[in-house]
Amino acid sequence: MKLKALFASALLGFAACANASVMTFDNVPVTDGVSLPGFNTAGFQFSDSASVIDVSPGSPFGEGTNGGHSGMYATLNDFVPGGTLVMNRVGGGLMSVANLWIHGWLGSADDLLIEGYRDDVIVQTANYSFSDSWELLALNFNNIDTLTLSSFSLFLVDDLNATPRDATPPGTVPEPTTLLLFVAALAALAFARKRRA
């Protein structure tokens, strides 16, 4: 029983290192169904070309969306066709963006250019098409400091999955903490001792 508890605590210690954030935009303050342009959420900031809107059924902004992918809110490329949505970390730093959900607003369907920048240089790019239903876009952009989404049409973004990456500079391997190494060694020792008995 002690071995199981020891193993569980080691797993919890490793799990504490993970810090991905799925942004649903449901916690961004809105007034009359829309936020002010530019906002911060979950340690990330969005440019003035982005607003959070209430897309729930019955909302004046929710026509044709049947709500956000999750919840009542999504971010919009700010009522300006051709507006580029820009995201980076509050205070700067690297991030990884795994995926996001996109939906053409008010029946829009168009092409989308997604670019990941590091130090003002494009390091990753992807082209997608979106329509008037929620679609998952797998990006897997790693170690970028700015993400841009550009289209000539209006679009919504929800459930954006991003992770801060300051702890591990690009090209290095993270080292486990001393406590985690100690717990893992103790667990291995206890397991080996039990097998011999």
Query: Looking at the structure, do residues 105 and 151 belong to the same domain, yes or no?
Result: yes
Mean pLDDT of the chain: 83
CA distance readout (Å), 78 to 30, 50, 147, 183:
14, 5, 16, 50
- Give the pLDDT mean for 68-90: 87
Q: Domain total for the chain? A: 2
**What does the pLDDT average to over 140-161?**
95
Q: Residues 111-123: what's their mean pLDDT?
A: 97
Write down the pLDDT at residue 103.
Answer: 94
Residue 53: helix, strand or coil by DSSP?
strand
Are residues 86 and 159 located together in one domain of the fold? yes
What span, in angstroms and rounded, lies between the C-alpha atoms of 102 and 182?
44
Domain range for 182:
1-17+174-197
Q: Tokens in use for 63?
A: 């026509």
Residues 70, 159: contact at Cβ < 8 Å? yes
**Strand duo 110-118 + 121-130: pairing:** antiparallel
88 and 158 part of one domain: yes
- Judge contact between 119 and 145, C-beta under 8 A: yes
Which pLDDT tens digit goes with each residue over 41-73?
A: 999 999 999 999 999 988 888 887 878 899 899
Say how far apart CA 45 and CA 146 lie, in whole Å: 10
For residue 197, what pLDDT is reported? 62
**Tokens describing residue 3:** 């071995």
In this structure, are 142 and 102 located in the same domain?
yes
Looking at the predicted structure, is the pLDDT value of residue 19 above 90?
no
